[in-house]
Amino acid sequence: METERLYAEDVEVAAEIIRSGGVVGIPTETVYGLGVDAMNEQAVERLYEAKHRPLVKPINVLVTGMGMAETLCAEIPPVAYTLAGQFWPGPLTMIFRDNGRVARMVLAGGETLGVRCPDHPLTLALLEAVGRPLATPSANLSGEPSPKNAGAVLESLNGWIDAVVDGGPCTVGVESTIVDFTKEVPAILREGGLSVRVMRRAMGGMKLDTANMRSVRPIHIFGVTGGTGCGKTTALRVMEELNIRVIDCDEVYHQMLASGGELCEALRVRFGAELFDRDGQLDRKSLGRMVFADSAALEELNGITHRHISLEVNRRIGQAVQDGCAAVAVDAIALLEGGFGRQCDATIGILAPQALRAARIMARENLSEEYALSRVMAQKPDSYYRDNCDFILENNGDLGQFQLAVRRLINGLLEDCRGEIGTN
């Protein structure tokens, strides 16, 4: 049997293969997986055979959300809904008591079931098309590295599975974080795409058992935010000196618009091809006039841009991992509003007096004092960052003191992250 290579337009073909009991390689934001109907015992048996997977190892299940999870699991605590609200779709697997609906082989003789909602449009579309949960281990022979692209799946499993859906390279490229809610104290079994620090923050300080945790998290993520003119550029230069890879979301956005890729296509579909010139470049002023007169359209624009920028940021984080960086700093004005801050080990708000910010903007952009102050006043107040960031850095104009404060904070965070992993 030759494994068929499918693409985005073939979601219904892949769904029919799965409905018929077949095995399909599918992309997620973490790694590629093998998907079968989790309620079809024969299909799950084929899955174990294709992977050469020991029958004593259970398989996690992909779902469309907590609604589908509720049909499969029992005793779901309120905090699990909190986590799903923050991190689903995303790299979080939660383990609950099974209620008897999935194929018994999925459980490998146990009584618990791991469920996850993946953050990949193709796999979410496939789940909707199949209408059932998918039993989905990583798409590799047991013992081999988890694949990050469709080619690696074919190299490992060609002839063993029916098809693979090519959704491009994975953006996170590391397995999900696993939390077991069947214990008296919730236990993190694996630290992956979401760190222990992130999980503790999201669970409101609830006690967590990390005694038996293993970590596959290769990098630490710090989010940096604050208004224009507050000194983020200075802080980020200090971080670069500490071997931290800086990802500027504003720069990412402009590069994506210039490239004419998937973000531009999504904007073209939603807002009209007339917003693009003959060279394919977006008329940002016309788009701005359109959305600022329509709050619903502005919300849609923000949703589209945040999603595509987040995917590209995750791709660049994956590249930083490959390059051996210990940490990345993601610089984004909308870090908190866009939701990416929830993935960060720590969020850092940088503040400065309004007059100092306005003076910097005037010098940098040759603007009048009145216009520079209006720019400052139109942005989030300091109280917003104090209420929502994990750490605050004050920049009062003393360059040396500010740089020292940045260095101390980042060195302390790196040490905390290393210690947190080392004691588990």
User: Given the structure tokens 């710090």, which residue do they identify?
Assistant: 222
- pLDDT level of residue 79 (50, 70, 90 thresholds): very high
Q: Beta strand pairing status for 177-180 and 187-191?
A: antiparallel
Q: Is 80 helix (H, G, I), strand (E, B) or coil?
A: helix
Tell which wins on pLDDT, 64 or 325: 64
Burial category of 205 from C-beta neighbours within 10 Å (exposed 0-12, middle 13-18, buried 19 and up): exposed
- Position 285, amino acid: K
**What pLDDT does 286 receive?**
86
Convert 409-422 into a string of H (helix), E (strand) and C (coil): HHHHHHHHHHHHHH
Q: Provide, for the chain, the percentages of residues in helix, strand and coil under a 3-state DSSP scheme, each rounded to the nearest 5.
A: 45, 15, 35
Residue keyed to tokens 């491009």: 168
Average pLDDT, the chain: 90
Of the candidate ranges 103-112, 114-123, 138-147, 336-345, the one whose mean pLDDT is the lowest: 336-345
**pLDDT confidence of residue 119:** 87
Q: Which pLDDT value is given to residue 173?
A: 57
Looking at residues 331-342, what average pLDDT do you find? Answer: 84
Contact yes or no for 327/219 (Cβ under 8 A)? yes
Please determine, for residue 162, whether its predicted confidence score (pLDDT) is greater than 70.
yes
How many CB atoms lie under 10 A from the CB of residue 20?
A: 11
Q: What is the pLDDT of residue 172?
A: 60
Residues 6 or more apart from 160 whose CB is under 8 A from it?
A: 3, 23, 49, 50
Mean pLDDT of 97-126: 95
Q: What is the pTM assigned to this prediction? A: 0.74
Find, among 6, 45, 54, 52, the residue nearest to 22 by Cα: 45
List Cα–Cα distances, 71 to 74, 129, 135, in angstroms.
Answer: 8, 18, 15
The string of pLDDT tens digits covering residues 251-307 is: 999 999 988 888 898 899 999 988 898 888 888 888 888 887 888 888 888 888 887
| Cβ(116)–Cβ(63) below 8 Å | yes
Mean pLDDT of 54-80: 95
CB atoms within 10 A of CB 1: 8
What CA–CA distance (Å, rounded) separates 105 from 40?
10
Please tell me the distance from the alpha carbon of residue 154 to that of residue 158, in angstroms, as a whole number: 5
Residue 212 has pLDDT above 80, yes or no: yes
- Give the integer Cα–Cα distance in Å for 251 and 238: 19
Q: Report how far residue 132's alpha carbon sits from residue 126's, in angstroms, rounded to the nearest whole number.
A: 10
Show the domains of the chain with their CATH numbers.
Answer: 4-215 (3.90.870.10), 219-243+326-424 (3.40.50.300), 250-321 (no CATH)
3-state DSSP assignment of residue 367? coil
**CA-CA distance, 270 to 273, in Å (whole number)?**
9
Q: For position 125, what pLDDT does the model report?
A: 95
Q: What percent of the chain has pLDDT over 70?
A: 97
From CA 250, how far away is CA 232, in angstroms rounded? 13
Of the candidates 133, 37, 165, 129, which has an alpha carbon nearest to the alpha carbon of residue 47? 37
Is the model's pLDDT at 421 over the cut of 60?
no
Which pLDDT belongs to residue 336? 87
Percent of the chain with pLDDT over 90: 59
Please tell me the distance from the alpha carbon of residue 14 to that of residue 18, in angstroms, as a whole number.
Answer: 6
Q: Is 69 left (phi over 0), alpha (psi -120 to 50) or beta?
A: alpha
| pLDDT for 423 | 33
Residue 43 CB partners (closer than 8 Å, separation 6+)? 18, 21, 22, 23, 36, 37, 103, 135
168 vs 92: CA distance, rounded Å: 21
Q: What is d(CA 115, CA 96) in angstroms, rounded to the nearest whole number?
A: 8
pLDDT tens sequence across 340-359: 888 888 999 999 999 999 99
